[in-house]
Amino acid sequence: MSINFNVPPPETKYCVLTFPSPRILLITINRPKLLNALNLPAHFELDGIFNWYDKEPELWVAIITGAGNKAFCVGQDLKSGFTSTTLNEKGSLSSNDDDNESILKNFPKSGFAGISRRVDSLKPVIAAVNGLAIGGGMEIILACDIVVAAKNSVFSLPEVKRGIVAANGGLTRLVRFIGYQRACELAFTGRNISAEECKELGLVNKIVPTYKDVVPAALKIASEIIENSPDAIKYSKQGILYSLESPSLTEAERKHLTSDIAKKFYNQDNYKEGILSFKEKRKPKWKNSKL
């Protein structure tokens, strides 16, 4: 499919980028032999991919999935997960640095897979979970806007079983999404969670029969999204994020209604097109967002 991008897609080694239909980006983590575990270069590659996606006006929705039939992503590739500057000859974190700081310096500012700390992205990201979503893999899905999962998918934050912590945004999101006591149980036990339980907890939107069905189901949702104004989608997501991040609903609403996007939104072509197409009783013709 030929798409006239403003900037060409970034070159990739650990992910495959495809465009299953206009305006939709499909990101496939392509390390199936390692259950799609991510090494450090892969985090920065995904950071670059999401940076490009956020800035590319031709793309309105992204889907992220894993290659193969076993795993979405099982987290950090621990065999190649740290640089020589982080570990000393005994295999411990360098005593010259604060432990947490040493680890976090190895990740992009946007966090695990370039998304777990990405709090200002206003384009939708859908997770198509085709198997195991463990550790950092679950942190990815917690950072996505919509989650589709195969029935046999397994989720967990098992970091405590290895003496570490889900410190790339997973814990902070989890408690806001499912509540304090339930978050504590999952974080303290590190137990596996089924797709059905995740759906009951509100962490999964849709369950499909097999791994083969997750991307088509995600594409169906993405296709429904791109029928709508990309400006309205961005402005809507901003309001949802403000509500998630702000201490009060009043403060969230104030930020939403006075944001830079709010000041521009009603002067955009897409706003005018939405009103005009309604009056003329026709399907709207949306343009790429300039917000």
**Domain segments of the chain as ranges:** 15-225, 230-280
Amino acid at 197: E
pTM metric for this prediction: 0.91
pLDDT tens across 79-93, in order? 775 443 343 333 333
Measured CA to CA, the distance from residue 41 to residue 47 in angstroms comes to 10
Instruction: Quote the CA–CA distance of 237 and 288 in Å, as a whole number.
Output: 17
Which tens digit of pLDDT belongs to each residue from 182-218?
999 999 999 999 999 999 999 999 999 999 999 999 9
Known catalytic residues are 139, 159
Q: What is the reported pLDDT for 1?
A: 63
Q: Which one-letter amino acid corresponds to residue 34? A: L
Query: In the chain, where do the E strands start and end?
Result: 15-21, 24-29, 61-66, 71-73, 125-129, 132-134, 146-150, 154-156, 193-194, 206-208
Strands 15-21 and 61-66: unpaired
- Architecture per CATH, domain 15-225, reads as Alpha-Beta Complex (3.90)
Least confident of 19-33, 48-62, 90-104, 119-133: 90-104
How confident is the model over 21-39, as a mean pLDDT? 97
Contacts of 137 (CB under 8 A, 6+ apart): 36, 66, 71, 72, 73, 74, 75
pLDDT higher for 3 or 31? 31
